[in-house]
Structure 1
Amino acid sequence: MIVRSKAPLRLGLAGGGSDVSPYSDLYGGLILNATINLYTYCTIEETKDGLITINSYDAHCNKSYPLSSYLEINGEASLIKGVYNRVIINYGVKPRSFKITTFNDAPAGSGLGTSSSMVVCILKAFVEWLNLPLGDYEISRLAYEIERKDLKLSGGKQDQYAAAFGGFNYMEFLQNDLVIVNPLKIKRWIVDELEASMILYFTGVSRSSAAIIDQQKKRAASGNKVAIEAMHRIKQSAIDMKFALLKGDMVAFAKILGQAWEDKKKMADAITNPIIQEVFDIAMQVGAWGGKVSGAGGGGFIMLMVDPTRKKEVINTLNKLRGFVMPFQFTEGGAHGWKIYSTDKV
């Protein structure tokens, strides 16, 4: 039997960073995000060789391990091993031999939540394969615990829930890791207008979000007044943007996006850099209304809002820089998995 799964990547539209502890524990967080048609993928194939074979294209790992109830976390394909170890421990699953293959549509460090989406995707494959009793909330929570607590990877809570639920979501992050996901029903014409008005540009720079997030956490924990007040405004932007989106007001949406970016830059020193600033300066010169970096910052993808009649002009200009414009559409569905019982291969 073969099991496959896929989970979407997301754009962090507003409130990013308010889902990161200790801020979310102290003040509560609010996030507005949406998934797009870029995905992480996982395939699990049952084997009879007594081995666990890991083929992770993104982690550049292709290795086989003796059948075991625990795979050592040593920097090689840690996301896969972290999920496997938790599944064995939490659900008392007897180890069995298999091959797992993973890859995704975006580069690591893209700011689209690739790592968290991958953890959700791998978990979904195990859920499908082993018939585990996990819904969207349970998968999201377990993915968060694996990534943040077991593997000790810095980050927030929104990405796991975005990947599991899919679509446009307004999320609340409360004390004790409590999360409430509020799906938004956006009219089709508003989604079309948002797609017509938005450009997704890859800066050509992949970055590790850990150092940026760690500095953000440190400033929140130390009571840094400038950083905390900026984060309060960022959290409020999620509320304001939700109303702008529901009304289809793209100009207001763009203004909120731009102001949130100015506030975000106050959270950590490495959130922006000369490459990012050059993209913003050039885009604004040729007609962009505003924008922000998706994710922690420092590189990855930039979301830019433009007048749809000038969109092609902005795209042509940006494509002359070191990065590239990524075509995309918003999606409704979250992570899902399926079984294939025929093992015949070409």
Structure 2
Amino acid sequence: MSPEDVALLGVQHRRGRKARPFDVRSRAPLRLGLAGGGTDLSPYCDQFGGAVLNATIDRFAFAHVTPNDEGRVVFRARDIGADESHALDAPIALDQGLVLHRGVYRHMVETYLDGRMPALTVSTTIDAPAGSGLGSSSALVVALVEAFRAALDLPLGPAEIARLAFDIERNQLGLAGGRQDHYAAAFGGVNFIEFLPGEKVLVSPLRVPRAFLNEFESSLVICFTGQSRRSETIIQEQIDGLRGMDARTIDSMHQLKADAALMREALLQGDMRGLAEILTRSWAAKQRTAKGIATPAVERLFQTALDEGAWGGKVSGAGGGGFLMFFTDPENRHRLITALNAAGGQASPAKITFEGAEAWGVPR
């Protein structure tokens, strides 16, 4: 496909209609890391196999791909006010600027357009702050890949999109992190995901009865600590501990993986109190894998939640800030949210979503 074909964004090829210019929009959901987070890191999953339980929620990363008349490629991250423009005859570096936008664009150009750079505007927004612990950066890469999949009419399913997004973010861009976020964003829903040696990934959607999902949502409170965190330091310390076969780190990872399986069973049985107990135990295990996971702000909000009747909770993601999640009696949820907000957090309910990454065309 040529850069000129991109101006039509592939819709006419699928539908056999007269060519009309379309813009492409896409979105990919953010996720709560319920259990097993960290076991999707190499070298742990390569040697022992990892397992995570996560659920996507009603927060999204959005991407928009539009041909422009500027004769340049323009990248915008509107939620953080970043904007950059590149000439079509100059290489795009991957070590500065909006590296996620750059990485996906460059991969698509080199892989599917024979290196010929089309004049596009690629803009994004995310429904959560950077460093939220909701897998926002990986969801953004998935949304970008999904947008280009639709624009170029590529035969990629959710597994291929997740694998490609992982490769771009972790291997091509060299950004530290695990694997679960890409698969959660690509597939959506409540999933038990196993990461096995040989880079084999098994995604098992959970068939949770509707009544149990209703109780899950009604019991759930998420709370932004007000601190965005950079997870690279925490993740690198975990990786170093795994490479050095540090017994404390490995034992904690074993506990996290076991808790993922136990939490899956608790959710399938509708046992929210049991789920909360496993969540809290996993939180203790996660704190043993690296320093700085529990900050003073995290500890203050966690204690506030317990004082206000939360059954249990943990940080979503690597830790060091970002979002906390708690479970409580649904009749107590409003009081818990009010108390967390009064203590300096930004608490709210959240709903489970079941659609993964999706794209659609908008006629210009």
Contact 2:222 2:349 in 1 (8 A): yes
Q: What's the counterpart of residue 135 of structure 1?
A: 157
| Large movers: runs of 4+ above 6 Å | none
Task: Supply the AA of the counterpart residue of 2:339.
Answer: T
Task: Report the Cα distance in structure 1 between the residues aligned to 2:318 and 2:24, rounded to whole angstroms.
Answer: 33
Note if 1:47 corresponds to 2:68: yes
Deviations 1:60-103 (A, max 9, x none): 32122111484212421100000011112222353211111101
1:218 and 2:244 correspond: no
Secondary structure at the counterpart of residue 263 of structure 2: helix
Structure 1 stretches lacking a partner, 5+ long: none
SS in 2 for 1:156: coil
SS in 1 for 2:138: helix
d(CA) in 1 for partners of 2:271, 2:100:
39
Q: Which runs of 5+ in 2 are unaligned?
A: 1-21
Q: What is the rounded CA distance, in whole Å, between the counterparts of 1:28 and 1:59 in structure 2?
A: 37
Q: Which moved more, 1:92-101 or 1:197-206?
A: 92-101
Equivalent residue for 2:3?
none
Q: Tell me the residue number matched to 1:21.
A: 42
Aligned position for 1:60: 81
The yes-or-no answer on 1:326 pairing with 2:326 is no
- Corresponding residue for residue 96 of structure 1: 118
The 2-side partners of 1:234 and 1:255 are apart by 13
Query: How many aligned residue pairs are there?
Result: 342
Q: Which amino acid aligns with 1:36?
A: I
Residue 327 of structure 1 deviates from its aligned partner by: 2.9
Q: 1:69 touches 1:88 (CA, 8 Å); kept in 2?
A: no
**Is the aligned partner of 1:250 residue 2:272?**
yes
Structure 1 distance, partners of 2:89, 2:236, is: 34
Counterpart among 254, 267, 273 of residue 232 in structure 1: 254
Distance 1:76 1:286 in 2: 43
- Secondary structure of residue in 1 paired with 2:342: coil
Structure 1 length-normalised TM: 0.96
How much has 1:303 moved relative to structure 2?
A: 0.6
Pairwise CA distance, 1:184: 1.1
Contact 1:292–1:303 (Cα < 8 Å) also in 2:
yes
The alignment-based identity, stated in percent, is 43
How far off its partner does 1:144 sit? 0.3
Greater alpha carbon shift after TM alignment, 65-74 vs 204-213: 65-74
Give matches, 1:299-314, under 5 Å: 299-314=321-336
Contact 2:70 2:119 in 1 (8 A): yes
- Tell whether the 8 Å contact from 2:220 to 2:349 is kept in structure 1 after alignment: no
Q: Deviations over 1:295-344 (max 9, x none)?
A: 00010000111111222221111111222113320000000001112x2x
